[in-house]
Chain A
Amino acid sequence: MKLFGLIAVFIVGVLLLSATQDFPSWGNPRSAASDGEVSSFYIEKTEAVTKVPNMVTAVLADFRGYDTMFETVVIFIAGIGIIAVLRNFEGSDSSIDYDNDDNGAGLLARFTCSLILPFIQIFALYVVAHGHHSPGGGFQGGVMLGASYILLALAFGLSKAKRIFSERRTMIFAAVGIFIYVGWGVLCLLLGGEFLNYSVLDSILPGDAMMARSYSMLVVEIGVAFTVTAIMFSMYSNLSTRGRLSKGL
């Protein structure tokens, strides 16, 4: 089996390497991918059309809004799938479990975490809110915010983290995130535009149609951040306790 695998891998590797002969060289600005019409349109027109300097966020939340919407749904479904596969309700979810000797890490680790947690969370919120002007966005900020809750669970024990961010609240947060995203698209429909065509929202938002697209990206990113935060914490708490949610690592 090992020899067979090695031969197969070697053949595939040689084929892939021989294919790179036709690929553009490193950093070539005239390569087909970088010089094409689509990429040039995004680079040259993004700021003029949406007033957002970060092209990545603009393409993510505006031009390819459908993609990102269903991406958020994929995360949501993955979170639900983990709960469906792993969640074990036997001998858990009772109030006795919360009083277990689940004290988390030692004194120094707990003290350090209590010092840095607020800063992590504020930075995560900044990454979400400033995502269309600087590197960042809903996914990145959401992961950071979720990681702050995971840190809380590691340092103080899962029961303490669950008192703040319970399972019920986690799933509500995840659903609210999807609701914000899809609801914003439906709002565009109600105002007479296409689904996720943010420019028709200028009648209810301050500024012109371009600013409406900029604000809408912020709203959509906040929705993404809600879902990602909740599902990250849900994934951690289910995987680390074998679905019992009683005692963390």
Chain B
Amino acid sequence: MDPIIANFIEENIVPKFNYWIYVILMMIGLYAMITKNNLIKKLIGMAIFQTAIILFYVSIGVKEAGGIPIISHHGSEHHQEAGAHSEAGSENLKHNIIDKDKYANPLPHVLMLTAIVVGVSTLGLALAISQRIHKSFGTLEEDEILNKLRPGGHD
């Protein structure tokens, strides 16, 4: 392979593949929202767009050595009492030293939890409105709806 391309892949794609996936997914959603004529397909595009943003945020919170953001030695007070003679262990527990590199960043997870909730709410409401549009106009195609809305257009 051409060394320039190989260099580009090694420096820009491999360590940052999560961003590439989020941009590609987001552009699929944006393309669907711009060009699709059917309202339901537009909504599908919106859902893909939201998923891309969620993926982006969660992937920033990843740490190489990190697990889930739930403290794993919880409930180890008994061990502390039992092994009080071992100096280092009890000292560690007394000051509650937590290595922050061992836990993924919890903040993106929280923000995306709320974003998912908003996504479900907007999607549900949008589906309800499109059902209503279908009831009023008999179609979900955007150009036909616009045609019927135009004053001179045939009803």
Contact = CB atoms under 8 A, between A and B. Distances in A.
B110 interface: yes
A239 B128 contact: yes
Interface in B15-40: 15-20, 23-24, 26-27, 30-31, 34-35
B117 to A, nearest CB: 5
Given A21-B12, A39-B107, A42-B106, A47 B71 contact: yes
Interface stretch (B83-91, B93-101, B144-152): B93-101
A133 interface: yes
Contacts of A228: 117
**Dominant secondary structure of chain B at its interface with chain A:** helix
A27 B105 CA distance: 10
Given A9-B30, A47-B96, A26 B129 contact: no
Contacts of B109: 56
A31 B60 contact: yes
A239 B127 contact: yes
Contact of B114 (A28, A31, A43, A71): A71
Interface string B109-130: 1100110111011101101110
25 contacts: A5-B35, A16-B26, A20-B16, A21-B12, A24-B60, A27-B63, A29-B63, A33-B60, A34-B60, A34-B61, A38-B107, A44-B100, A47-B71, A47-B74, A53-B70, A54-B69, A56-B69, A64-B110, A74-B118, A82-B125, A85-B128, A86-B128, A86-B132, A139-B113, A239-B131
